[in-house]
Amino acid sequence: MLTGIIGKSIVRRRRRKLLSLVAVALGITVTTAVGTIALDVGDKVSRELRSVGANIRVTPAADSLPVVIGGVDYRPAGAGAFLSEADLVNLKRIFWRNNIAAFAPLLDVPVRLETRSAAVPTVAVGSWFDHRLEVTKTETFETGLKKLHPAWRVEGEWPSDDDPAACLVGRQLAKRLGVEPGKTLVIRSPSSSGGGDVALPFPAARAGLRLGSPRCATLTVSGTLESGGPEDDQIFVPLETAQKMSGLEGKVRRIEVSAVTKPEDAFARSDPSQMTPEQLERWSCSPYARSIAYQIQQAIPGAEARPVFQVAESEGRILGRVALLMWILVAAGLVTAALAVASMMLATVLERRTEIGLFKSLGATDARVAAVFLLEACVLAALGGVVGYFAGNWLAGRLALSVFGVSSSRHWVLFPAVVSLAVTVALLGSALPLARALKISPAVALRE
Domain match, 78 and 115 both: yes
- Whether 36 and 11 share a structural domain: yes
Indicate the DSSP class of residue 78: T
What b/e readout covers 188-211, taking b as 16+ CB neighbours within 10 angstroms?
Answer: bbeeeeeeeeeebebebeebebbb
Q: What is the pLDDT of residue 76?
A: 47
Kindly state whether residues 279 and 339 are assigned to the same domain.
Answer: no
Query: pLDDT tens digits, residue range 358-401?
Result: 777 777 777 777 778 888 888 888 999 999 999 988 988 888 77
Which are the contacts of 366, defined by CB distance < 8 A and separation ≥ 6?
Answer: 438
Residues 367 and 244 in one domain: no
pLDDT of residue 398: 85
Q: Are both 204 and 100 inside the same structural domain?
A: yes
CA-only gyration radius of the chain, Å: 33
3-state helix, strand, coil in the chain (%, to 5): 50, 20, 30
* Residues 39, 77 within the same domain: no
Claim to verify: residue 223 and residue 290 sit in the same structural domain: yes
Question: How many domains does the chain contain in total?
Answer: 2
Claim to verify: residue 303 and residue 436 sit in the same structural domain: no
Q: Last residue of some domain: 266, 284, 307? A: 307
Burial 373-396 (b: 16+ CB within 10 A, else e): bbebbbbbbbbbbbbbbebbbbbb
Residue-range definition of the domain harbouring residue 33: 2-44+316-447
Same-domain check for residues 329 and 294: no
Domain endpoint, select from 307, 333, 361:
307
Q: What is the pLDDT of residues 312-361, one digit of tens each?
A: 566 566 666 777 777 888 888 888 888 888 888 887 777 777 777 777 77
- Contacts with 188 (C-beta within 8 Å, 6 or more apart), sequence order: 111, 112, 114, 212, 215, 216, 217
Co-location of 23 and 142 in the same domain? no
Residue stretches of the chain with pLDDT short of 70: 1-14, 40-53, 63-80, 115-118, 190-214, 309-320, 404-406, 441-448
Q: Are residues 139 and 224 in the same domain?
A: yes
Q: Are residues 339 and 195 in the same domain?
A: no
pLDDT of residue 20: 81
Q: Domain boundary residue among 307, 329, 363?
A: 307
Q: What is the pLDDT of residue 90?
A: 94
pLDDT at 68: 59
Domain-embedded: residue 49 = no
